[in-house]
Amino acid sequence: MTDVLLRYHNVPEIARLEVYLRHGGYQALNKTSRLGPDGVIQLVEQAGLRGRGGAGFPTAKKWRAAQSEERRPHYFVCNIAEGEPGSFKDRELVRNPHMVLEATAIAASAIGAEKAFIYLRGLYSDEEQWLKQAYIQARNQHLLPVEIVIHRGEDSYIAGEETAMIESLEGKRAIPRVKPPRPHESGLWDFPTVINNVETICNVIPILLHGSESFRKSGTPDSPGTKLFCLSGQIRKPGIYECNLGIRLSTLLNEFGRGPLPDRNFVAIFPGGPSTPIVPYNMDPQMDFEGLQQAGSYLGTGGVIVIDDSADLAQVAVETLAFFARESCGTCPPCVTGTKELHRMFQSNSADRILKIREFCEMMKYRGQCAHSRAAALTSLSFLSQFPQVFNP
């Protein structure tokens, strides 16, 4: 295991400013002022950092797009909404609150933001207090060059979608916006805005401190760096493990997760929660952006939900579609109707249910204001394609 982001998480009282400073805290932010925004973005681009919140979009490309927008002000948002089942990495990162504040300030400075926000999941009341206390400490020492607002928002899955998060920050219900325009063009209060997951921006600190070549020593050429993998479900040792991107699934589950439960065998995983299509264990993909695409899925948040041979996959599908139906924001008819119908059809024993499921999935894949209906459709289809013997007996 390669600890980069979690390197100091077991240091006693790391949340205290003096302890964080003793371990190199805020040195990366100091370097930001010397490099300037263009220098920081260039270094992040050379490192090949990609978003760790789900999409894997190149971070430097997103920052440069917002930086080039002439309209002012610019805003930056650190996303700690973490509503994906199976993901609990962001909460762990906040245990080192000064790292989160430093990373947020670096990202905000890189895009020329006049103000930054940290958006927390509604449940994270303790984490809100940790961040606020750390912010007071850092502000009193004049360490932060930008105002940071710590905002505890909705406790809904959809609030993690970037435009829904913008709506919530503006005091409205978290409902995704129609895109385009993209947030970097018209985000918070219609001004250019960048939203990054907290794991993404925390990676910028070691990139600034040790260089892009050091960052690229981990991972693969197309998926450089480490990833926080959250193992949960039917596995001997669930938890958070920081590993190189590109690690084999079998290595992740057996060496770090300590293998299956007694007298059980692994059958499948959701690589990044139920919004990523199910993958049979015997495919043993590389756990990176490209490897999981080749396996017909996505890395997502890295919230790996493990399923063994004691599970009824038909019931797993029913519960998965219940999640999608429950978490639909209720705005788009194809999503509202489609997720409920898919949930019903996976419970049905009708002779034509497989055909109907496929028809509904094709209808849902390309409609809706966000990716929720598409994720429900792709995950549904993955059950049918990867485990036909279960659904086509």
Q: What is the pTM of this model?
A: 0.95
Confidence of residue 51 (pLDDT cuts 50, 70, 90): very high
Are both 139 and 286 inside the same structural domain? no
Residue-number span of the structural domain to which 376 is assigned = 313-391
Q: Give residue 54's pLDDT band: very low, low, confident or very high (50, 70, 90).
A: confident
For residues 29 and 173, membership in a common domain is answered with yes
pLDDT tens digits, one per residue of 78-115 = 999 998 999 999 999 999 999 999 999 999 999 999 99
The reply to whether 88 and 43 lie within a common domain is: yes
3 inside domain = no
Does residue 393 carry a pLDDT above 80? no
Can you give the pLDDT at residue 1? 53
The domain tally of the chain equals 3
| 12 lies in some domain | no
Do 28 and 176 reside in the same domain of the chain? yes
Q: What confidence tier does 184 reach under pLDDT thresholds 50, 70, 90?
A: very high
Quick one: which of 233, 270, 248, 238 has its CA closest to 54?
270
32 and 172 part of one domain: yes
The CATH number of residue 338's host domain is 1.20.1440.230
pLDDT of 2 over the 80 cut: no
Residue 1 counted as domain residue: no
In this structure, the answer to whether residues 285 and 231 fall within a common structural domain is yes
Share of the chain above pLDDT 70, in %: 99
Residues 192 and 293 in one domain: no
- The answer on 232 and 183 residing in a single domain is no
The share of the chain scoring above pLDDT 90, in percent, equals: 89
Cα–Cα distance for residue pair 351/380, rounded to 1 Å: 17
How high is the pLDDT of residue 78? 98
Of 182, 216, 250, the residue that ends a domain is 216
Is residue 137 scored above 70 in pLDDT? yes
Strand order in the sheet with 303-308: 239-244, 226-233, 303-308, 266-270, 279-280
Strands 147-152 and 115-120 turn out to be: parallel
Q: How confident is the model at residue 249 (pLDDT cuts 50, 70, 90)?
A: very high
111 and 158, same domain (yes or no): yes
pLDDT tens, position by position, 279-323: 999 999 999 999 999 999 999 999 999 999 999 999 999 999 999
Give residue for tokens 């300037």. 36
The answer to whether residue 9 sits within a structural domain is: no
pLDDT score at 322: 96
> Residue 63: inside a domain, yes or no?
yes
